[in-house]
Structure 1
Amino acid sequence: MNTETPLPTARERFYRRERQSVPAARSFTHSALTDWGMADRADDILLCVSELTTNALVHGVPPGRGFQLRLLPYDGGALRIEVHDSGGGVPAVPHPDPGEPGESGRGLLLVAELADKWGVGERDPGKVVWCEFAGR
């Protein structure tokens, strides 16, 4: 008798280069988390989705293109989030001066603090920026 619970199916969606793509990606992720029963870290996950998709729109998606959001659940309630874009460059966590009043440029700093892991992978063209949240 098989008592293992099957893993939820990965979900993905393509978004165009437009402002409403960020809240749409957050809503898509919220629905998946609800369906999968992954409410434990939903606020952190949704904030990371917002930051990664915003970065893709601002820095990684040339005009006329878009980005792909992938949600990949793993054993034990773990989740990997991937944002695929066709832009160049390698994102890095900034090291802002604490006295600097900057209002932007801290998205990856938030992702690095909230997620258990994050990184950047290659694709042709562009890159994949990802983060992972450990399960229960």
Structure 2
Amino acid sequence: MNLSEKFFRRERRSVPAARQFAHAYLAEWGLAGTERGADVLLCVSELATNALVHGVPPGRQFRLLLRCDGYSLRVEVHDSGGGVPRVDTHPRDTDEGGRGLLLVAALAD
């Protein structure tokens, strides 16, 4: 089993840094450049953004964990916020956000 994790600071540049980190391991595991790899990177971006916006208190970090066993790839983002993730299944057209977890739910198995 391949396992990789990294902590990221509470700052905007952590989202692209998390994507770069995930891309490097996807490449190592032979998944970069595939349609599924692109789905994984989008999920990493959405989950990292949610952690920064909703879950990481000032001065804290979030953790990105990638686990690949040759059959499945697991992506986890952990933060120290007290909230519980919720998928808004009916966001309004005028809402500026609220679609990130909906995308993750659609792309993840």
Check whether TM > 0.5: yes
Q: CA deviation at 1:109?
A: 0.2
Residue in 1 aligned with 2:44?
49
Aligned length: 107
- Work out whether 1:64 is the aligned partner of 2:59: yes
Residues 1:23 and 2:12 are matched in the alignment = no
Tell me how large the CA RMSD over aligned residues is. Answer: 1.2
Stretches (4+) displaced over 2 A: 95-98
Flag structure 2 segments of 5+ consecutive residues without an equivalent.
Answer: none
The alignment-based identity, stated in percent, is: 63
Match of 2:8, SS?
strand
Superposition pairs for residues 83-122 of structure 1, below 5 Å?
83-97=77-91, 100-116=93-109
Opposite residue 26 of structure 2, the aligned amino acid is: L
Larger radius of gyration: 1
Structure 1, 48-57 or 66-75: larger mean CA deviation: 66-75
Letter of the aligned partner of 2:107 in structure 1? L
Instruction: Find the counterpart in structure 2 of residue 122 from structure 1.
Output: none
Q: Residue type matched to 1:47 in 2? A: L
TM-superposed CA distance for 1:105, in Å, is 1.1
How far 1:101 sits from its partner (Å)?
Answer: 2.0
- Cα distance, 1:102 vs. partner? 1.5
Report which of the two has the higher share of strand.
Answer: 1
User: Between Structure 1 and Structure 2, which shows a larger proportion of helix residues?
Assistant: 2
Q: Which amino acid aligns with 1:114?
A: L
Q: Give the gaps of 5 or more residues in structure 1.
A: 1-6, 117-136
Please give the secondary structure, in 2, of the residue aligned with 1:10.
strand
2-side partners of 1:101 and 1:17: how far apart? 28
Deviation per CA, 1:70-121: give whole Å up to 9, x if none. Answer: 0011232x100011110011111103355x32221110000000111xxxxx
Counterpart of 1:34 in structure 2 is 27
